[in-house]
Structure formats: structure tokens, C-alpha cells
Amino acid sequence: MGISAKAALINLAVYSALILPVGVAAQEAESTVPPLIPQNELVIPDVESLVERCMARVPKTLGIEIGGTLTTRSVKWGLVWRADFTLANTAGIKGISRIVCRDAQDDSPLNVAFVTGQPVRPLPPR
């Protein structure tokens, strides 16, 4: 049973601190969040422990469905997991919605960003 569009929007509002809108907020986050598109990163097979930790940060009540994913490693960002997603009952969003989750593999905490409506190519299907 899916949730109604109104409930999805209310849930989205509750988690709005997690969503980076297009524009200024996304640009300000650039210094701590890897880019939506890998740059100078080595594509590697999914690291199951990273995927599990990143997915644990995804609010279940939003009805997020994961599409294509990509795991990379870089000197600057460490391990990065990117996943395209859709929200239940929000088919009107244009562009790509993506989770960018990084684990610098040091003492810093897991860093997760959710962005919507981005003019980027979709990640390859899993």
C-alpha cells in the first residue's frame, strides 16, 4: 500500500533539512559533499557495508525507490556511493534525484546529501 501524495509531501517537509534544492544550497554544500557526477574517481564494485550504512540514513517514510547506483573511491572523497532515486507519488519532479553518500574512512562521520531535480544523466541501472 503506497502513501498518498499529500502524506509524501508532508513527510518530505519533515525531512527537508536532508534535501538540498537546486541552486545556492547545493553550491554551498560543494565543499563537504562530493559532486553528483564522479570526477577523478575510480569506479569500484559496491562496498556492501557502505551501501548498508548509507541506506540506513534514507528515511523509510518518504517511499524512496532506488534506481541506478555507482560506487567510487578517490583521494579527496574516500568511498562514495551515489544512487538515483524517486519519491513515491512525486512523478512531477523533473531531472534526476540523487543520493550522494561518502565515507572518508577516517574519524569524520558518514556524509549524506539528497538532491532533487538535477540536470545530470541517470546512473546505470543496477
Phi first, then psi: give them for residue 105, nearest 5 degrees: 60, 35
DSSP string, 8-20: HHHHHHHTGGGEE
- 123 in a structural domain: no
pTM assigned to the model: 0.73
Q: How many domains does the chain have?
A: 1
* 60 inside domain: yes
Q: Is residue 74 part of a domain?
A: yes
Residue 71 near residue 55, CB atoms below 8 Å? no
With respect to residue 50, please indicate whether it lies within any of the assigned structural domains: yes
Residues spanned by the domain of 54: 5-118
pLDDT digits 0-9 by tens, 63-122: 888 999 999 999 989 999 999 998 877 667 788 999 999 986 666 677 889 898 899 999
Q: Is residue 125 part of a domain?
A: no
User: What are 86's three cell numbers?
Assistant: 524517486
Within a domain: 29: yes
